[in-house]
Chain A
């Protein structure tokens, strides 16, 4: 999903960075508060960060014949709130930009916006909506992680379409083209991420019930018989 180094015009690069910085500050504050109030959750935050690190390193093949990777930020968003995942996503993206030439420093703002802001916030919103509608926990977690992942790639497509509108069809044509590359490729990968997130949340519900008792994700009833 990463927009490559130098592939956003300077004005766009600066604009996305300006949008992302306040979220990053908010995320750091929110993470600090959360850990101060619940120091016992430190390890689980580490697990959520590790999940993002692991998943965003795995480039999986998809039906479009190209490869892409899941983001792994949905899990942390469900557990600690979407803002807490902004710094985590930022660190992952910085690591990849500096060491892997994957993404880039000039496109870091745009990539943070899609992966570390839109992804977690969509995940969290979907989760809340599913919970309100009475979905059981596994379904709510699956939808949240899966749609959050997809939203990241739709955002990347929109960012590129804004920077490179088609000469004839404008933003729309360009967006469809980039979405065909990113979002379509992402569909099976997003489903995988959703399933994997369900597995991890189930494990946490079993092993960390005490640390997680106050979290909204644990308040949902698990599937009958599960």
Chain B
């Protein structure tokens, strides 16, 4: 990979890790909960009488199960991307190999 790609990766990692170090606990809120939950709390203060009128049809039995399913979702995505990358690298290599074979025969 080129130097610039490494730089981009480093920036992505920094952007994800720095918030963990820089953020201090806001009063009365759990640190690094989902922003969805914060929104629910905000709805609670704006419209205290609002009651959700529909419940999720299926809820993961625990946060462990939820993280399992999120990991599964990520794995499916990463699997397809990995397949494409592997195939692409192999294809490029084969193309280069063919080209050098042709050159050799032409000599």
Residues of B within 8 A of A64 (CB): 23, 35
CA distance A62 to B69 in the complex (A): 22
Residues of B within 8 A of A185 (CB): 35
Say which residue of A56, A66, A226 sits within 8 Å of B2 (CB atoms).
A226
Residues of A within 8 A of B43 (CB): 7, 160, 164
B32 and A100 contact, CB distance less than 8 A: no
A66 and B38 contact, CB distance less than 8 A: yes
CA distance A52 to B77 in the complex (A): 8
**B88 contacts partner chain A, Cβ-Cβ < 8 Å:** yes
**A124 contacts partner chain B, Cβ-Cβ < 8 Å:** no
B37 nearest CB neighbor, chain A only = A66
A142 nearest CB neighbor, chain B only = B8
Number of interchain pairs (Cβ within 8 Å): 178
Say which residue of B23, B35, B57 sits within 8 Å of A98 (CB atoms).
B57
Binary per-residue interface labels of chain B (84-105) against chain A in the complex, 1 for a CB within 8 Å, 0 otherwise? 1100110110000000000000
Residues of B within 8 A of A51 (CB): 77, 81
Interface of B is mostly: helix
Say which residue of A44, A61, A164, A199 sits within 8 Å of B19 (CB atoms).
A61
Say which residue of A56, A65, A199 sits within 8 Å of B5 (CB atoms).
A199
How many of A's residues come within 8 Å of B, CB to CB? Answer: 69
Query: Residues on B close to A: CB < 8 A?
Result: 2, 4-5, 8-9, 11-12, 15-16, 18-20, 22-26, 29, 31-40, 42-43, 46-47, 50, 52-60, 66, 69-71, 73-74, 76-81, 84-85, 88-89, 91-92
Query: Residues on A close to B: CB < 8 A?
Result: 1-7, 9-10, 43-44, 46-47, 49-68, 95-102, 104-106, 160, 164-167, 174, 177-178, 181-182, 185, 188-189, 191-192, 195-196, 198-199, 202-203, 206-208, 226
